[in-house]
Structure 1
Amino acid sequence: MKALLLLSVTALLFLSGCASAVKRHELAQKHLNKDVNCDKASADIATLESHKSTTREKWVNGVASVLPTSILLNVILGEFGSRAAIATGAFDETVERKIKAIESGCMLVDSQADLMLVKQ
């Protein structure tokens, strides 16, 4: 009985620690679905960069996605998809694609970076 109680408390503390990543994931979805506005491109890119997951968040959400008690709780709360996307890196890839779309759509890509210097 004590072991089950300890496991439950540990799981709740563990999951509460990564709740911020799930909330940030939900907020980022709004930014990902917005149309590109070149007047606000730099601010949009900065916002999207801030939504990226840390390595710790990926690890914690990965564990929370595979523990049986966590899976049940995540499904009930509707967070399973968000946690899985954070854990696998799929969410960060989506954010990167949006950033690239903003950069290319607003021509923010530095053309000098694409040039190769050749020694003569």
Structure 2
Amino acid sequence: MPSANPATTPVSVDEDVIEGRYAELDGYTVGFESHKQDVDPAPLFAGLPDDRCQSRHWGVVTSGQITFRWADHEETYVEGDAYYAPPGHLPLMTAGTTLVEFSPTDELEATMAVVEKNLEAVSS
């Protein structure tokens, strides 16, 4: 049975705002994320339907808090909470938040392709 561990999964992203370790497990990506700063990444989702994340996520907040915003409401999850975020959300990260999150790999990759393109545009 496939598994992943934050101690053995290599760092994939190490930026000022986030450190992320990601492993693919039978069609799902598990992410171990540590958010270093408060950040509203909403502009990075521009170009996706409704300019919002289109991937589903299931996760557990291991410290801090995360807020998901939809067009009609928002939900905040804190340490110890398990969550499900359907498509059409925007995340809001708080410094010091760590989480373990599962996402369908195909949905996540399609979303991240747009996010990475927007990151490149901001960096140039």
TM-score using structure 1 length:
0.25
Q: Which has the higher strand share?
A: 2
TM-score using structure 2 length:
0.25
- Larger of the two Rg values belongs to structure: 1
